Amino acid sequence: MLQPPNILTIAGSDSGGGAGIQADLKTVMALGGYGMSVITALTAQNGLGVRGIHAPEPEFAVLQLKTVLEGFPVAAAKTGMLFSAGIIRALAAELRTVAFPLVVDPVSVSQSGSPLLQEDAIAALREEMIPLSTLLTPNRPEAEALTGLSIRSTDDAFAAAERLIGMGAGAVLVKGGHMDSDIVVTDCLLMRGEAPKTLPQPKVDTTNNHGTGCTLSAAIATELGKGLPLQVAVVRAQEFLNRALRKSYAPGKGCGPVNHAAGR
């Protein structure tokens, strides 16, 4: 039996189960990986919104990371909600020493509109995490916040991606879910030294889209952990998310999650 790749997620916990650590671990398992976690924040959350956030001390986030790295050979990792400048800077100091691919999802706002990143943490994200990323996966609002650019088209998305690569990202995927289209969602991939690439997927008409960014970044990390080239990993992750969206449903009130069990 071929051993599954060990995939690490460094992110916040979603008590509603649709995003964050929970979505990441479901995704990793669905795609044949073994999931591990470093929890950067606890959220009191359901499909209606985020009621509260409690974050550990940065030192405890680092202890989680060090303990995982001591016990497991990690094939790839992703970051999601990092919450504070202190947590970002502490984790970045440890992540500078690793050799595995790192997907950085610069989570700043929940699907319901609640802030998941403290205001003073945006500079730390730019300075500390972006230069460590094998791939950075911002949505349109996140790319705008990180670059100061307005994004209304694929050309704008690639201009933002170019600026983010200038900040140190290895590659950038600007996600197209916030762009206006009734037919297609087009993600824009820019890899250092290569021509821009548009990667379209059919748009799924559903309000059950909680945790889409978490799911996509976890899926990319899992595919990278299998040794796949970056663009192939991104396309496979897109296909997984699209299938999970098509089979999504609402298990409770409000915005439902994607169906991770339907994504294989």
| pLDDT tens sequence across 13-64 | 999 999 999 999 999 999 999 999 999 999 999 999 999 999 999 999 999 9
- Other beta carbons within 10 Å of 59: 10
The token duo for 56 is 């550990």
Mean pLDDT along residues 164-187: 90
| pTM, two decimal places | 0.97
For the cut 90, the answer to whether the pLDDT of residue 214 exceeds it is yes
| pLDDT tens sequence across 94-108 | 999 999 999 999 998
Residues 6+ apart with CB under 8 A from 42: 12, 13, 15, 53, 54, 55
Cβ contact 20:43 at 8 Å: yes
